[in-house]
Amino acid sequence: MNVLIAGVGGQGVILFSELLSNIALESGLDVKKSEVHGMAQRGGSVNTHVRFGPRVASPLIEEGTADLLVAFEKLEAVRYLHFLAPDGRLVYDDYRLEPVPVQLGLVPGADDADLDERIARRVGKRLMVPAFAAAFKLGNQRVQNVVMLGAVSGFLPFGEDACREMVRQMVKPEFVELNLVAFDRGLELATA
Amino acid sequence: MNRKLLSGDEAIARGAWEAGCRVAAAYPGTPSTEILESLAGYDGVYCEWSVNEKVALEVALGAATSGVRSLAAMKHVGLNVAADPFFSAAYIGSNGGLVVVTADDPGLHSSQNEQDNRWYGMAAKVPVLCPSDSQEAKDLTGLAFDISEEFDIPVLLRITTRIAHSSTVVELGERAEHPPRGYVKRPTKTIILPAFARARHVDLEGRVDRLRAYAEKTPWNRAEPGDSNLGIICDGVAYQYAREVFPGASFLKLGMVHPFPVELVRRFAAGVSELVAVEETDPFIELQVRALGLAVTGKDRLPRWHELSPRVVRRSLTESEPPPEPEQGLPNRPPALCPGCPHAGLFYALQRQPVIVGGDIGCYTLGALPPHEAMDSCIDMGASITFAHGADKALGKDDKRRRVAIIGDSTFFHSGITGLVNTAYNKSDVITIIADNRTTGMTGHQQHPGTGRTLSGEPTVEVDTARLARACGIEKVVEVDPYRPTETRKRLRELFEEPGPAVVVSKRPCALLVRLQDPPKSVDREKCVACKTCLRLGCPALTMKDGKSHIVATLCAGCGMCADVCPKGAIS
Ligand SMILES: Cc1ncc(C[n+]2csc(CCOP(=O)(O)OP(=O)(O)O)c2C)c(N)n1
């Protein structure tokens, strides 16, 4: 299975990918995860590739072959749509973070309705999950990634409990409880 | 079973630890930084951030010569800085194993070029190993130490970003201790005076000959038989991409690309109808195949620039359907200075001044982009001061634009000091600004000689940049606070008017280092006259909303630079 995760530097894309790839590893599969550090993380566009199965060769997903695209921000969702397989699924947060040059008025921004239209035109299986808003309500916007994990868990071959267990193992002890609540919130949002 | 997901960098650290490495030195640089960060977490290995890559390699060579297994790690351009000791190390040899890791960056994810450091191995006559995933990164690190000791030669382990920053499954092993061999005085080996070095060169060629034979028989250079119509010869992550696209082909997978296994390649070529070399980034393997007089396809079909991917390999080598196209017309999202970044205040102070600014490498290089556009060059680490000096000599007094250099604190220690001494010694009027944010920001906050802490967090001397600048021969040394952009701008203006060289230390810790406690600022819409002065800071938390400045509270770090620059006192 090929899962591409997209977002903006600082949104917790990396931790999400780490959770996902370790859940896959625990289930006995071969796993490869690829990400980029450094310059790209200073508020730039960030994507990580997670692939798992009986045997994985390339750490990178080929365009047009992602089974699942998880996007933490709507513009970033649209930026990576071409990675989706024809029957691939998009799970995205419609939260918007303007690129800094747009915010400073140096280049024109993307119109919200236009982004919606591009998504609708290109993707059949899509689910919008307001994970940032949910995380904000829970009192910590940084759990947006675990809300997302809860939301996509139903589309992964691992089961909820395997995901929860990995959250317990990988999240700092003082944040485990909050993250488990965030995970359940994501589950609810996906099934609502 | 002890299986774990490790990045290539973490796997190299693990491999070094398991192989009994005792001394490791590096200067940070994406994508190599995590090797030392990870290795520092193991017991039994002394790890340090050296001030630059040349120093790191010399430290490792000194340790290896003294009989322990040692490692130096760097990004690809770091090996340019360390090239001098690298070539000498080949003559001198190892004693305790000496492994040099180079992390190349095809695709320029975080670098200034795409150089392919396999050539360094060939040029310096040093064996080159190229892992294709994390397991191999770990295993080949261990092998590199063995080869280094068996053949008395440093070994270059070459990885790329997609190896360094991809995590794949690794079987963990235990540490095998290699007792120190001790230091034995052998002047004709370790002192490369011409008279001794002449003999060492002959000796080196002998070692390379023995390595040539080794390359023919090592299981790390292996043929994987498949369809005989297509034979692919490859190394590194390119092997994985080619495997993905041509699962049934015959492969010759090279774990050791230098010395080149000539006979093995000939035999492989004889068994396939078509031979293709797939590699990043230069035709390193391909040219050596061609030199054997064999027909091979490679960079005539695959791109000579940027990184490979399954898509690029498929598109270049097959007639397959083109993959889906990305959406067009979306705004890019380039990296930007963080909210509260002290560099923003400094660049604000530099904007629209009559200056020519030699830039350098670090987070502050982002000051070259709008809205700041406050830089004229970015060449390599340390080149800001020397560039400005050269410009000063060329332009003379007639050109009224003041020659300025801007350099980060870590970069100053890395290679700025010599340039500054040169400026003082050779009498130019350069104003050198040290953007001192108390850390190595770009690569993720590593300690350096100005922070007062070592890699392991121990307290140590805190080298004072201002005093150091004076010792370099610059008498006028001024300190400014970039969180007060207006005052900083005024102070710089004055300095630009005065003759003679000066150093300005612009001092404020990185905003990610000291999470600011101040509440977010907000704009008084009554007072705001929409002059957009605050936007010139380029802060990601600032924008325009309904015709007035607006601060995004969830992003604001509360630093107050915008309040400082607002001419109407509309921000508090
Ligand atoms: C020879 C070389 N080594 C390492 C790097 C990677 N690198 C780029 S900038 C930088 C350090 C930046 O630190 P500093 O000068 O303190 O500036 P800051 O990022 O904190 O603003 C490093 C290590 C490089 N580009 N070239």
- CATH number reported for the structural domain that contains residue A88 in this entry: 3.40.920.10
**CA of B365 relative to ligand 1 center, distance in Å:** 10
Residue pairs spanning A and B at CB distance below 8 A: 166
Query: B279 in a domain, yes or no?
Result: yes
Q: Tell me which residue in A58, A84, A109 faces B240 most closely, judged by beta carbons.
A: A58
Query: B304 in a domain, yes or no?
Result: yes
Q: Tell me which residue in A44, A63, A78 faces B324 most closely, judged by beta carbons.
A: A63
Ligand 1 atom with the smallest distance to the CA of B361 is 9
User: Is A187 an 8 Å CB contact of chain B?
Assistant: no
Q: Do B338 and A42 touch (CB under 8 A)?
A: yes
Chain B residues with CB inside 8 Å of A45's CB? 332-333
- B497 & B526 share domain: no
Q: Compute how many other C-beta atoms are within 10 angstroms of the C-beta atom of residue B293.
A: 8
Compute the CA torsion angle B136, B141, B142, B144 (nearest 10 deg).
120
Q: Do B243 and A98 touch (CB under 8 A)?
A: no
- B362 & B449 share domain: yes
Owning domain of residue B539:
516-572
User: Is A58 an 8 Å CB contact of chain B?
Assistant: yes
Chain A residues with CB inside 8 Å of B3's CB? 25
Chain B residues with CB inside 8 Å of A20's CB? none
**CA of B99 relative to ligand 1 center, distance in Å:** 23
Say what the ipTM of the complex is: 0.96
Q: What is the pLDDT along chain B (572 residues), one digit of tens a residue?
A: 699 999 999 999 999 999 999 999 999 999 999 999 999 999 999 999 999 999 999 999 999 999 999 999 999 999 999 999 999 999 999 999 999 999 999 999 999 999 999 999 999 999 999 999 999 999 999 999 999 999 999 999 999 999 999 999 999 999 999 999 999 999 999 999 999 999 999 999 999 999 999 999 999 999 999 999 999 999 999 999 999 999 999 999 999 999 999 999 999 999 999 999 999 999 999 999 999 999 999 999 999 999 999 999 999 999 988 889 999 999 999 889 999 999 999 999 999 999 999 999 999 999 999 999 999 999 999 999 999 999 999 999 999 999 999 999 999 999 999 999 999 999 999 999 999 999 999 999 999 999 999 999 999 999 999 999 999 999 999 999 999 999 999 999 999 999 999 999 999 999 998 877 789 999 999 999 999 999 999 999 999 999 999 999 988 999 999 999 999 999 99
Ligand 1 atom with the smallest distance to the CA of B33 is 23
pLDDT at residue B475, as a whole number: 96
Q: Are A89 and A23 in contact (CB under 8 A)?
A: no
Query: B330 in a domain, yes or no?
Result: no
Closest CA to B174 of B319, B14, B389: B14
Query: B494 in a domain, yes or no?
Result: yes
Q: Are B254 and B221 in contact (CB under 8 A)?
A: yes
Measured from CB, residues less than 6 Å from any atom of ligand 1 are B 27-29, 53, 75, 77-78, 81, 361-364, 381, 408-411, 435, 437, 439-443
Of B217, B247, B277, at which residue does a domain stop?
Answer: B217
Closest CA to B334 of A100, A106, A98: A100
Query: B273 in a domain, yes or no?
Result: yes
Closest CA to B130 of B153, B155, B150: B155
Structural domain tally of chain B? 4
- B521 & B564 share domain: yes
pLDDT average, residue stretch A31-37? 90
Residues pairing with B47 in the sheet:
B24
Of B159, B183, B217, at which residue does a domain stop?
Answer: B217
- B118 & B208 share domain: yes
Q: Tell me which residue in B3, B444, B544 faces A25 most closely, judged by beta carbons.
A: B3
Query: B165 in a domain, yes or no?
Result: yes
For residue B474, give every residue at least 6 positions away whose Cβ sits within 8 Å of its Cβ, in sequence order, or none. B420, B423, B424, B432, B501, B502, B503
Q: Do A38 and B109 touch (CB under 8 A)?
A: yes
- B292 & B422 share domain: no
Angle, alpha carbons B157-B161-B163 (nearest 5°): 60
Strand segments (E) across B445-526: 477-480, 502-507
For residue B515, give every residue at least 6 positions away whose Cβ sits within 8 Å of its Cβ, in sequence order, or none. none
Chain B residues with CB inside 8 Å of A43's CB? 333, 335-336, 338, 540
CATH, residue B293: 3.40.50.920
pLDDT at residue B520, as a whole number: 95
Confidence band for A152, pLDDT divided at 50, 70 and 90: very high
SS3 of A46, please? strand
Q: Are B511 and B342 in contact (CB under 8 A)?
A: yes
- B12 & B144 share domain: yes
Residue A40 has pLDDT above 90, yes or no: no
Token digits of residue B339: 């909210």
Q: Tell me which residue in B167, B168, B371 faces A106 most closely, judged by beta carbons.
A: B371
Confidence band for A43, pLDDT divided at 50, 70 and 90: confident
Token digits of residue B242: 């080619």
Residue A75 has pLDDT above 70, yes or no: yes
Cα–Cα distance for residue pair A50/A60, rounded to 1 Å = 8
Cα–Cα distance for residue pair A118/A96, rounded to 1 Å = 15
Chain A residues with CB inside 8 Å of B338's CB? 42-43
Q: Are B123 and B138 in contact (CB under 8 A)?
A: no
Q: Are A46 and A22 in contact (CB under 8 A)?
A: no
Residue A39 has pLDDT above 70, yes or no: no
- B114 & B206 share domain: yes
- B157 & B91 share domain: yes
Strand order of the β-sheet with B3-7 is A125-128, A84-92, A66-71, A2-8, A45-53, A30-34, B166-171, B3-7
Angle, alpha carbons B542-B514-A38 (nearest 5°): 70
CATH, residue B571: 3.30.70.20
Structural domain tally of chain A? 1
Q: Do B330 and A108 touch (CB under 8 A)?
A: no
The DSSP output letter for B370 is T
pLDDT at residue B322, as a whole number: 85
How many angstroms separate the CA of residue B169 from the nearest CA in chain A?
Answer: 7
Q: Do A44 and B333 touch (CB under 8 A)?
A: yes
Q: Compute how many other C-beta atoms are within 10 angstroms of the C-beta atom of residue B522.
A: 15
For residue B456, how far is the Cα from the chain centroid? 21
pLDDT at residue B433, as a whole number: 98
- B232 & B354 share domain: no
Of B317, B350, B367, at which residue does a domain stop?
Answer: B317
Query: B98 in a domain, yes or no?
Result: yes
CATH, residue B40: 3.40.50.970
Token digits of residue B399: 């050109």
Strand order of the β-sheet with B249-254 is B221-224, B249-254, B227-234, B274-278
Confidence band for A65, pLDDT divided at 50, 70 and 90: very high
Secondary structure percentages of chain B, helix, strand, coil, to 5: 35, 20, 45
Residues pairing with A33 in the sheet:
A50, B167
Please tell me the residue having the least CA distance from ligand 1 atom 22.
Answer: B29
- B469 & B538 share domain: no
- B186 & B50 share domain: yes
Owning domain of residue A151:
2-191
Residue of A nearest to B363 (CA): A39
Closest CA to B306 of B111, B123, B129, B442: B111
- B349 & B475 share domain: yes
Cα–Cα distance for residue pair A84/A62, rounded to 1 Å = 9
Strand order of the β-sheet with B128-129 is B46-49, B23-26, B70-75, B98-104, B155-160, B128-129, B256-258
For residue B123, give every residue at least 6 positions away whose Cβ sits within 8 Å of its Cβ, in sequence order, or none. B87
Tell me how long chain A is: 192
Q: Do A110 and B331 touch (CB under 8 A)?
A: yes
Instruction: For A88-108, give the DSSP string.
Output: EEEEE-------HHHHTTSS-
Please tell me the residue having the least CA distance from ligand 1 atom 15.
Answer: B408
SS3 of B402, please? strand
Cα–Cα distance for residue pair B372/B366, rounded to 1 Å = 8
Ligand 1 atom with the smallest distance to the CA of B435 is 21
**CA of B442 relative to ligand 1 center, distance in Å:** 6
